Amino acid sequence: MATAIPPIYQNLCIQTYNSAKTLPHPQIPPLQFQSSTLPQKYDCSFRTIDGAAVSGIDYIHTSGNLTFLTNESQKEIPITILNNPENQTEKTFVLNIGASDDIFLNDGAQAIITISSCNSVNAPYSQTFIQKMPASGWTYYSEPNARIQQTAGRLRMDNSQDNTDSLNESILHIDLSVVENVRLTFFQKSIARDECTSLPSFFVDHFNGDGVSISNDGHTWYRLLDSMDLTTDAVGQQYTVNLSDIASAIQASYDENFQLNQYTHIKFQQYGNRSYPSGGREWDNISINGTIIPPVAYNDILSLTEDIATTSMLTATQEYEHSLHYTIVTAPLKGNVTITEYTTGRYTYQPNPNATGEDYFTFKVINLKTEAESKPATITIYISPVNDPPVTLDVNVDLYENKYKYITLSTSDPDNDILTYQIIEPPLHGTVSVMNNIATYTPYIYYNGPDSFTFKAMDEELHSNISTVMLTIYSVYSPPLAYLQTVNTTEDMPFNISLTGFSPDNLPLTYHLNTQTSHGTISGTPPYLTYTPAPHFWGNDVFTFFVNDGEENSESAQISIFIARSENYTLSLLTNKAGQIRINGTTALPPWNNPFPTDAQVCFEAIPNVDWIFQQWTGDSDSAQNPICITMDRSKTITANFVKQSFVLNIYGNETIMINQLEQQLPFRQSFETNSNRFRCWDGDIQLCDDLIEFTINEHMNLTPIFYPIPIWETPITVERQVADSSVQYTGTIHIGIASQAYTKPLKTTAEFYSCDIFAYDQDLETVGDDIHQDNLYEHIWNIAVSPRGNIGSVVNEETAAIRWNPQTFSPEGHYILKKGLDGTGETLIENMRNTTQYLITDKTYQGLSIVWKKYDTFTFHLNQGWNLISLPLFPETTTVENLFPDYTVAYEYKNGGYLLVSALEPGKGYWIKVPFFPMTQYH
């Protein structure tokens, strides 16, 4: 059996020294050999092996010769040793150092072995061997294959302790299980002093080695016969080695690809049983017998695409120039292989339909002359997938009327791709939706009979064929249906409703109410009903009903009623014949009524006749406020109630008097107090402006109460500035307005301390509290003075107060402007006081202001249906056509020989405007 000599693994350097003297402990980094200066050329051979290595590990083998020339004492040779990744405990190598061609080192006195790490961190370990005196822990002998081996952390010599006078070969084993890098220094001095003169001259032509070894690359050697197996005698022995068997053994145990080739070398060397210098060497006869070398078939890889046949070549080599024949040994699993040219190895591989992934087949090659067959080789096949279209199938489905059905669409995809689905032709009598491969079909309500739809499937690239789903919908009994409705009417307007239902089986129906309305009443006989909303109600109302077909009741259906709010409400004003009504600046004699837009604000005032006073409003407004403003959120009827005026009379004295033909004892006390704040003064025998008076009658007396006229409109103007001191008055109020006669009221008494102040000026620039002008002008100016500081705080500091008013209390017509300064000549502060409710004023003292009221002029347009030529004689508040004529269709201006579309009108110019009916338009 051949023995492999695997290479070593690590980086080493070799150097040799030869000296007749004892060398000191070396401190050099590489593994070294050194020889003394010789009078002749000196050769030293070396090689690296690992006798304990694991088979199959990839090592690097190093071998060669060291040649020392005359006067040359040192050589260095690097040796590479690789790490063994599979077995860290067997990082061993063998270093074989011997004299070239059995020329031994002379005058050796001792051998020194030093082992250290290559990184030079640790001090080297050194062991010295003295001739015939083994060191502690070492066994030394001088057999031809003597070895020095490290075990258990120390070095020893194996085999017997045969101390001879010569050391022919030293082999050093070093265990690398602990250190990765080693530094080895090897000094050897020959113990024998033999010049080897007895060796035959032809010995130098022999190969180095021990026994018989074979190699096919010159680097890796396999031992065929050990030298110990060779019999040494005077006659010699005949040995035969069968190279074919040897090659098979090497392939089985060491290298499956080992083949005998033109690089094959055999070396042999045999040591006899002798003791130098008197010993000798004899050779046994060795003959090497070869056999026919079979061809070699090679593995290969074939890559192709799914469903595509591919042609390629099988490959093989041989040592002879003979014809070869290729044949299949093992057929593929996912396709078929056909050799089309048996002598060249051309073949075709056809994959099975849709087959992908990995496949293989094996083949061998035969030498047609020698009939030698190769070992089978493997062709590994990789089939790359391609996208195949999905496939769909027709489906037949049965279901019942008014029931939906989940349908699994029959599809397949050779590539198992994720598919999407598309309806091509939808059903005629139902609906279908698709999620993944599930289609949901719902027939139209109450339909029965045949139906169908078509579909297809798609992956990311390809579409399938189109398939049909055939549907059969079977008839079932269906209960009747009551149909819901949504109807519309207007506030306070009755509305007719016809209930509706349906019998899928065409059975007669009867109609029945289920629930009543909440905001109205239902009259009539179902299905013909009349709905009457509750008075003034607008919004939503509902009721429900059901139908019966003689078999079953239907589900309840809801009738939703939307009662729209009226666009206009009618205001009716009544009195008890003791007064009049003033509304929007116009006095009206009740009964009076007029429509107003929804939610319009309407203000009106009750004006009593002489000797009557207003008491309160009754009807749809219960209030004693006069004037009063209401919101037209529905039609309303309101009555103004008047009562006779009353006064307070106190008469003091000690006699009797006649009052209203009744004798009364003085003092007489009875209340006749007026209920109006319009009282001004008493006139006659007593002239006082106190509303409540007390007096003593000593003679006949006449008293007449004088009242302020009722204002056409009146509004308060208030100034306010909040301060922290609650004892300080922080508001002040005056009144301005218009009445049938002008009058003023005195300024009310101001508190001792006040944070702000306001008063009005009359025509003589006297301060007053109320300034009411006579209604005889188209423009009025009220002059007022405002102090934002009042009489508290520092006179050097400015303060800010707010002037406030309520535009709802203004006259319904006219334009209000707030200006700086008196008499309306100053800067305009607020252009339109109707658009805001306050103005902030900042000053140290009083500042004069004026409120200007200008009455609107009114112009009425009477337009004809269709086209009208108009011109604005006044400047309106707005000039946009949409605001002036809300119902207009289009408006044009004739300019530069053509008609131009306009959206605003300029007073004084002529315009053509088209209206759809006969409107009357007013603007101010």
Tens of pLDDT, residues 771-806: 999 888 788 999 999 999 998 888 888 999 999 998
Q: What is the pLDDT of residue 212?
A: 65
**Nearest-10 Cα torsion for 268, 273, 275, 276:** -20
Contact predicate 93/50, CB 8 Å: yes
> What are the tokens at 378?
């493997």
**In 3D, which of 82, 78, 150, 89 has the Cα closest to residue 114?**
150
* CA dihedral over 833, 836, 842, 845, signed as positive or negative: positive
Closest CA relative to residue 147, chosen from 185, 156, 45, 130: 156
Average pLDDT over residues 455-481: 92
Nearest Cα residue to 215 out of 368, 15, 50, 3: 3
Of the candidate ranges 267-276, 599-608, 706-715, the one whose mean pLDDT is the lowest? 267-276
Q: In terms of pLDDT, which residue wins out, 743 or 197?
A: 743
Residue-level pLDDT at 827: 93
Q: Where are the beta strands (DSSP E) in 672-742?
A: 679-684, 695-696, 703-707, 711-720, 731-739
Query: Is pLDDT of 549 > 90?
Result: yes
Question: Each residue of 71-113: pLDDT tens digit?
Answer: 444 444 433 333 333 333 333 333 333 333 222 223 333 333 4
Q: Which residue has the higher pLDDT, 910 or 862?
A: 910
d(CA 394, CA 97): 86
Position 240 scores a pLDDT of 66
Q: Which among 560, 545, 500, 496 has a CA at the least distance from the CA of 524?
A: 496
pLDDT value for 277: 33
Q: Tell me: pLDDT of 547 over 90.
A: yes
SS3 413: coil
- The pLDDT assigned to 288 comes to 52
pLDDT band, very low/low/confident/very high, at 267 (cuts 50, 70, 90): low
Q: Nearest-CA neighbor of 274 among 240, 313, 216, 234?
A: 234
Rounded average pLDDT over 344-352: 95
Residue 520 has pLDDT above 70, yes or no: yes
Across residues 290-302, what is the average pLDDT?
83
Query: Which pair of tokens denotes residue 354?
Result: 């849709």
Q: Which helix (H) or strand (E) holds 250?
A: helix 243-253
Neighbours of 507 (CB within 10 A): 15
Question: pLDDT at position 377, please?
Answer: 96
Question: What are residue 153's phi and psi, to 5 degrees?
Answer: 80, 10
Per-residue pLDDT tens over the stretch 848-900: 999 999 877 677 777 888 888 888 877 776 788 888 888 888 899 888 888 88
Q: What is the mean pLDDT of the segment spanning 354-383? A: 91
> Does 469 or 165 have the greater pLDDT score?
469
Residue corresponding to tokens 């509303």: 691
Q: What is the per-residue pLDDT for 182?
A: 33
Q: Say if residue 41's pLDDT is above 60.
A: no
**263 band by pLDDT with thresholds 50, 70 and 90:** low
Tokens of 513: 């109410």
What b-and-e string marks burial along 209-238, b requiring 16 or more CB atoms within 10 Å of the CB?
A: bbbbbbbbeeebbbbbbebeebebeeeeee
* Mean pLDDT (whole number) for 269-278: 36
Whether the predicted pLDDT of 483 surpasses 60: yes
pLDDT at 204 over 60: no
The values of phi and psi at residue 228, to 5°, are -70, -20
Task: Give the Cα separation of 293 and 372 in Å (integer).
Answer: 8
Average predicted confidence (pLDDT) for the chain: 72
pLDDT at 283 over 70: no
User: What pLDDT was estimated at residue 544?
Assistant: 96
Residue with tokens 């031809």: 144
Which DSSP symbol is given to 883? Answer: H
Lowest mean pLDDT among 315-319, 454-458, 707-711, 715-719: 707-711
Please give the average per-residue pLDDT across 637-642, as a whole number.
90
Mean pLDDT, rounded, for 186-193: 28
pLDDT of residue 276 exceeding 60, the answer is: no
Task: Give residue 33's pLDDT.
Answer: 32
pLDDT confidence bin for 349, thresholds 50/70/90: very high
Percent of the chain predicted with pLDDT > 90: 31
Q: What is the pLDDT of residues 755-778, one digit of tens each?
A: 899 999 998 889 999 999 988 878
- Distance (Å, rounded) from C-alpha 857 to C-alpha 175? 125
Which residues, including other chains, have CB under 8 Å from residue 802's CB and lie 6 or more apart?
719, 720, 721, 838, 839, 840, 841
Scanning the structure block, which residue is given the tokens 């066994």?
139
Closest by CA to 295, choosing from 240, 377, 206, 203, is 377
Give me the pLDDT at residue 647, please: 62
Tell me how far apart the alpha carbons of residues 115 and 125 are, in angstroms, rounded to a whole number. 5
- CB 431, CB 441: distance < 8 Å: yes
**Helix count and strand count (H, E) for the chain:** 2, 80
pLDDT tens per residue, range 735-756: 999 988 888 888 877 788 898 9
SS3 89: helix
pLDDT at 747: 86
| Gyration radius of the chain over CA positions | 66
Looking at the predicted structure, is the pLDDT value of residue 344 above 60? yes
Q: Is the pLDDT of residue 694 over 50?
A: yes
Return the top range by mean pLDDT from 360-374, 426-440, 722-736, 858-872: 426-440
The distance from CA 909 to its chain's CA centroid, rounded to whole angstroms, is 62
Bridge partner list, 602: 630
Q: Do 694 and 671 meet the contact criterion of CB atoms below 8 Å apart?
A: no
Q: Is pLDDT of 304 > 60?
A: yes
State residue 852's pLDDT score.
94
pLDDT of amino acid 241: 66
Q: What is the pLDDT of residue 646?
A: 65
Q: Which of 10, 7, 6 is nearest to 182 (CA)?
A: 10
Q: State the pLDDT at residue 127.
A: 41
What is the arithmetic mean of pLDDT over 349-364?
94
pLDDT of residue 611: 64
What's the CA gap between 414 and 392, in Å, rounded? 12
Q: In sequence order, which residues have a C-beta less than 8 Å from that of residue 749 and are 6 or more positions away?
A: none
| pLDDT of 392 above 90 | yes
Tokens 């009417």 belong to residue: 489
pLDDT at 48 over 60: no
pLDDT at 828: 93
Tens digits of residue pLDDT in 642-677: 887 666 667 777 777 777 677 888 777 765 545 455
- 3-class SS shares of the chain: helix, strand, coil, % to 5: 5, 50, 50
Q: pLDDT category, 732, cuts 50, 70, 90? A: confident
CA distance 212 to 224: 5
Question: Mind giving me the DSSP string for 798-863?
Answer: -EEEEEE--GGGS-SSSEEEEEESSTT-S-EEES-GGG-SEEEEEESS-EEEEEEEEPPP-EEEEP
pLDDT of residue 122: 35
Q: What distance in Å separates the CA atoms of residue 266 and residue 289, rounded to the nearest whole number?
A: 12
Please determine, for residue 517, whether its predicted confidence score (pLDDT) is greater than 90. yes
CA-CA distance, 784 to 767, in Å (whole number)?
Answer: 9
SS3 of residue 869 by DSSP: strand
CA-CA-CA-CA dihedral for 135, 139, 142, 144, to nearest 10: -140
CA 306 from centroid of its chain's CA atoms? 40
pLDDT tens for 229-259 read: 554 444 445 556 666 677 788 888 888 888 7
Q: With 0-12 CB in 10 A as exposed, 13-18 as middle and 19+ as buried, what is 174?
A: buried
Has residue 63 got a pLDDT over 80? Answer: no
Tokens matching residue 332: 């593929």
Residue 169 pLDDT more than 80?
Answer: no
**Residues 112-136 pLDDT 10s:** 344 333 333 333 334 443 333 333 3
- Spatial CB neighbours of 272, under 8 Å, sequence gap ≥ 6: 232, 279, 280, 281, 282
- Per the listing, tokens 């113990």 go with 191
**CA end-to-end distance (rounded Å), the chain:** 131
Are the C-beta atoms of 397 and 427 separated by less than 8 Å? Answer: no
Amino acid at 919: P
Nearest to 363 by CA among 299, 295, 311, 294: 299
CA atoms within 13 A on the CB side of 271: 20
Specify the pLDDT at position 186: 32
Task: Please state whether beta strands 169-175 and 147-151 pair in parallel, antiparallel, or not at all (unpaired).
Answer: parallel
